[in-house]
Structure 1
Amino acid sequence: MRIIHHPILCNYYVTYRCNAKCGFCDIWEKPSPYVTLDQVKSNLLELKKLGVKIIDFTGGEPLLHREIDQFFAYAKELGFITTLTTNALLYPKYAEKLKGKVDMLHFSLDTADGAQHDTWRGVACYDHVMESIQIAKSLGERPDILMTVFEENIEEIARLYQEICLPNDLVLILNPSFDYNEVETGSGLSQQSLKKLTQWGKKKNIYLNQAFIKLRRDGGNQTDNPVCKAASTTLVINPYNELVVPCYHLGIKSFPINGQLKHLYQSTEVKQLIELEGKLPACQGCTINCYMQPSFAVEVNKYFWSALPSTLKYNWVKGTWRQLFNS
């Protein structure tokens, strides 16, 4: 049963450029412009009209955009819940400007071993994460550690949790890896690893959407009965100021926005593509977290109930539940 019939999230790619070279991501390989402040302001107004509640300014590395703090300021002015995930290389530079503007601030960190983390990320960023944690805390911010979990690093959860998260009172977000396009990362986490993740997700200051685990055990999205609601729950805007449908990773078609985002999203052609969400051949077996998470929130099914406890837990800790229910 569908309980929310409008999009709730916008994945807003401010640039595809990145100052890291992660092996599990291909975004940094793409040439890319930067979005403009005028485009962002126009699109945020239209997103508000469409009922979107959460803006994720993403990339690439979003802090490469020199006006990123102004994007967040305007989003907060309009009442959006805001999120930012960064490798932290540039966070010390922008920390003061971003203070109070990011509701969910995530620092990417995949192990407590600095040399190993830097190897996986293709650039020396571990020390910047450690510095950024202290800077953020000194400003009264409440950052999270976002760990992308593979077979190769699942045993690192304990050390990351005990040595970095608990002493700093940080939430550890466990993000199971997934394959997409030509990027193979190991979404086929073993049943033993899935069991370990389930157990870790029960601990204090750890967030794991348990529906991610259930979906993987079920073999991912099934095109004959899709759980994925990527296009109807999430708008994707790329750095070329285009609406991407049905999701970033498939990107079947991109439409120039031209200041008419709401009209474009409700157009016949876009609606026809939205109808294909989760049903395309490439959707079979998909487990992409950034589209499954909002999908779990809008339709009452077994994944909704699996996701609900962890979602409530995280939003209670972060204080964002008030915005979710009052906006």
Structure 2
Amino acid sequence: MRLRKKPVLCNYYVTYRCNARCGFCDIWERPSPYVTLENAQRNFEGLKRLGVKIIDFTGGEPLLHRQLPELLEMAQNLGFITTVTTNGLLYPKQAEKLQGKIDMLHLSLDSPNKAEHDKSRGVACYDFVMESIKIAKTLGERPDILFTVFEHNVEQIKEVYHKVCLPNDLLLILNPVFDYNNVDTGLQLSPQSLKALKQWSKKKYVYLNEGFIALRQDGGNHIDRPVCKAGSTTLVISPDNKLVLPCYHLGLEEVPINGDLYNVYRSEKVQKLIALEGRLPECEGCVINCYMQPSFAVELNKYWWKALPSTLKYNYLKGTWKAMFR
């Protein structure tokens, strides 16, 4: 049963450019402009009319956009919940300008070992993450640690949790890796690793959407009975001001917005593409977290129930529900 028909989330790619070279990501390989304030303002108004609640300012590395503070402030002024994930390289220099403008700030950290983390990111950024934590705390911010889980680093969760998160009173977000396109993300998470992740989800200050685990155990999305509602729950906007459908990672078609996001999204062409969500051949077996999370939130099924405890836990610990009344 569908609980909500309006989209929930916008993944707004402010640029595809990045100052890191992560081996499990290919976004940074794409040429890219930067989002303009004028287009963003118009799109924010369209998103508001469509019912979107959360804008994830993403990339690439979103902090490369020199007007990110203005973009965030514009979004918050319209009542959106804002979220940003960063590798930390630029945060120490920009922290004061960003203060109070990000409702959910995620710092990426994939290993407690400096050399391992820097190698996975293709650039020396471990020390910047540690510095970012200190600076954020002095400014009254409470970032989350986003830990992308691979088969090779499951055992390192414990050290990150005890040495980084608990001493700094930070929430640890466990983000199971996923495959897409031709990107090599390593071995799939084993049943033993999925079991370990489920156990970690019960810990204090740990967030893991258990729907992610259940979906992987079920073999991912199946096109004959799709779980994915990427098109109807999530709008993806590119740096060159196009609507990407049915999702960024599949990206079959890009539709120019031309200053009228509301009507473009509601157009017959876009709605036909949305109707294919989770049903395309490429969608078979998909477990991409950024589209499954909002998908779980709008359909009353077993994944909705699996996701509910972690959703309530995160909102309680972070107080993000208060932003809904801003």
Match of 2:67 in 1: 67
Match of 1:202 in 2: 202
Give the partner amino acid of 2:101.
K
- Cα offset, 1:322, TM superposition: 3.2
Show CA shifts across 1:282-316 (max 9, x none): 00000000000000000100000000000110011
- Alpha-carbon distance in 2 for matches of 1:8, 1:184: 30
Give the partner amino acid of 2:320.
T
Give the partner amino acid of 2:299.
E
Give the partner amino acid of 1:23.
G
Q: SS at 2:136's partner residue?
A: helix
Match of 2:222 in 1: 222
- Alpha-carbon distance in 1 for matches of 2:315, 2:28: 30
- Alpha-carbon distance in 2 for matches of 1:109, 1:156: 11
Give the partner amino acid of 2:308.
L
Alignment of 1:7-26 (within 5 A): 7-26=7-26
Match of 2:56 in 1: 56
Quick check: 1:177–1:187 contact (8 Å CA) kept in 2?
Answer: no
Q: Does 1:33 align with 2:39?
A: no
- Alpha-carbon distance in 2 for matches of 1:192, 1:290: 23
Q: SS at 1:212's partner residue?
A: helix
Unaligned runs of 5+ in 1: none
Match of 1:171 in 2: 171
Q: Does 1:94 align with 2:99?
A: no
Q: Does 1:245 align with 2:233?
A: no
Match of 1:131 in 2: 131
- Cα offset, 1:138, TM superposition: 0.3
- Alpha-carbon distance in 2 for matches of 1:226, 1:214: 14
- Cα offset, 1:93, TM superposition: 1.4
Quick check: 2:23–2:184 contact (8 Å CA) kept in 1?
Answer: no
Q: SS at 2:204's partner residue?
A: coil
Q: Does 1:312 align with 2:312?
A: yes
- Cα offset, 1:320, TM superposition: 1.2
Match of 1:117 in 2: 117
Q: Does 1:266 align with 2:266?
A: yes
Moved over 6 A (4+): none
Match of 2:291 in 1: 291
Quick check: 1:165–1:171 contact (8 Å CA) kept in 2?
Answer: yes
Quick check: 1:179–1:187 contact (8 Å CA) kept in 2?
Answer: no
- Cα offset, 1:187, TM superposition: 6.5
Quick check: 2:147–2:172 contact (8 Å CA) kept in 1?
Answer: yes
Unaligned runs of 5+ in 2: none
- Cα offset, 1:252, TM superposition: 1.0
Deviates more, 1:260-269 or 1:186-195: 186-195
- Alpha-carbon distance in 1 for matches of 2:43, 2:315: 26
Quick check: 1:16–1:59 contact (8 Å CA) kept in 2?
Answer: yes
Match of 1:232 in 2: 232
- Alpha-carbon distance in 1 for matches of 2:323, 2:120: 36
Quick check: 1:176–1:187 contact (8 Å CA) kept in 2?
Answer: no
* TM-score, structure 2 as length reference: 0.99
Deviates more, 1:181-190 or 1:210-219: 181-190
Match of 1:276 in 2: 276
Q: SS at 2:55's partner residue?
A: strand
- Alpha-carbon distance in 1 for matches of 2:94, 2:74: 16
- Alpha-carbon distance in 1 for matches of 2:187, 2:276: 23
Quick check: 1:211–1:304 contact (8 Å CA) kept in 2?
Answer: yes
Quick check: 2:54–2:80 contact (8 Å CA) kept in 1?
Answer: yes
Match of 1:156 in 2: 156
